[in-house]
Amino acid sequence: MEESTSRAEESHDASNVINNSDINVAAALRAQYAIVTPQISRRRHKKPTREEVEEPLIDNTKVLPLHSKKTERLQKRQHRKIQKAANAPADLTLTDLPSETLTEVFRWLRVADVFRMSRTCHTMMDLMLHHEKVISKDIISRRYWTLYRCFPLPVSFQNVPEEFHSGLLSEKRQELLNIHRKSYHQHIQMIDPREVCTCMTCVFAWNNLCLLIDLHHWQHNLANREPIPMIPRGTHPEWNQELLMKNAEIVRLAMRRPLYYAAILEQHLSTITGTILRFSKWKKKGAKAQPRLYNMTDQDVDAGTDEFLESKGPPSYDFPYHRDNYYSLEAYLPNRKFGADGRWHYYALPPTQHERDLEWVRSTLVSAVPPEQRRAQAMANLKDHNVRWSQYLERAQQTQA
């Protein structure tokens, strides 16, 4: 038993030895061949950039010197070109021209173009303002000479000699002017006696210029057969008051700035040519073709001058007292009469007519003049004015009726 027990212990020890040796071998193997479990990173590995992978490039290229006859020729040509550009004067603009030349350019333009050109820069504006009188005079004499003689400018009150002031502002004189307030209030702003001379010539001149602007204002309606709004008698709508004030302001401006006066004449020429063309198109059915008023041609319209108005045509003795007259008004050209010699004669040319009227005012209204002398002067001057005043009052009364 003891022997078997000892064998069992031996076998047990032996098995222990084997087991222990196996364990040692496994440990040795584990140490030699370690199993590495790859750890998957949640972050993706960033791909290295090209700059990180590659070495930085160093540019060692150089311009190769060219040596050939063709290259030399090209280089010489380029050199000459650069030198020529360096020696050339700087780019010239219109404002570099002498002022005399620019003024001459202004003189040949239409008034609307003069305004446009003067708005391009300060230099042009200054030039226009400095030479406005000369430019306007040239434009009027070249383009609107007939209209200038039909529509003289009124004289401002401050330019009337002081000796006539009391006569012009007298109550009697203002009573005579009241007729305007009743007759023209719908399409003409009443003249202010402390602003504009109220001699007969200047009153007509003021009314005519205000009328031209108002007539031009309604050309769109007339051309498109749209009725002009009628104003019930005794009413004064706001839109009409504003229009009259605006028209009057332009006339006041024209009295100070000759270019604005020329602009009014230019506008009226446009009104006349447009109306004559319109009348020639709107013929009655079956009516024979008639030559246009003043034999106006298309070339006359394109020329932009009023020379054709010197041809024979109807006189304009009647002042348009109401906007109703605009529908049948083909060309309004007052203050002239066609003579037997085949020419138009103009009788309101400034300043003579204005001066004659002032003399009449003084002789009839200024109390400082002795009665006998006043009567004699009044009788002499009245011959010239009686006819005009009677016609004027008669027409005004007809309108009121």
Give the per-residue contact string, 263-282, with Zn ion (x = CB under 5 A; - = no).
--------------------
Least Å distance, CB 196 to Zn ion, is 8
Nearest to residue 147, comparing CAs of 362, 349, 355? Answer: 349
Q: Among 118-126, 149-157, 240-248, 366-374, which window interacts with Zn ion (CB under 5 A)?
A: 149-157
Q: Which is nearer to Zn ion, 327 or 347 (CB)?
A: 347
Pick between residue 117 and residue 191 the one whose CB is nearest to Zn ion: 191
Site for Zn ion in 344-363 (CB under 5 A): 354
Q: Based on CB atoms, which residue is closest to Zn ion, 265 or 358?
A: 358
Compare residues 151 and 308 and give the one whose CB is closer to Zn ion: 151
- Measured from the CB of residue 396, what is the shortest distance to Zn ion in angstroms? 19
User: Which 221-240 positions form the footprint of Zn ion (CB under 5 A)?
Assistant: none
Dist CA 175 CA 195 (whole Å): 17
Nearest residue (CB) to Zn ion, 111 versus 150 = 150
Determine which residue in the list 155, 248, 333, 365 makes contact with Zn ion, applying CB under 5 A: 155
Residue 131 within binding range of Zn ion, rule CB under 5 A: no
Size of the site for Zn ion (CB under 5 A): 5
CB of 111 vs Zn ion, minimal distance in Å: 25
Taking the least distance from each CB to Zn ion, the nearer of 12 and 194 is 194
Residue owning tokens 């004449």: 265
Binder of Zn ion out of 135, 140, 153, 202 (CB under 5 A): 202
Nearest approach in angstroms of CB 362 to Zn ion is 12
CB of 203 to Zn ion, least distance (A): 8
Q: Single out the segment in contact with Zn ion by CB under 5 A; choices: 143-151, 199-207, 273-281, 333-341.
A: 199-207
Site for Zn ion in 159-198 (CB under 5 A): 197
Tell me how far, at minimum, the Cβ of 262 lies from Zn ion, in Å.
21
Q: Please report how close the Cβ of residue 146 comes to Zn ion at its closest, in angstroms.
A: 22
CB of residue 209 to Zn ion, shortest distance in Å: 13
- For position 199 contacting Zn ion by CB under 5 A, the verdict is yes
| Distance in Å from the first CA to the final CA of the chain | 170
Binding site for Zn ion (CB under 5 A): 155, 197, 199, 202, 354
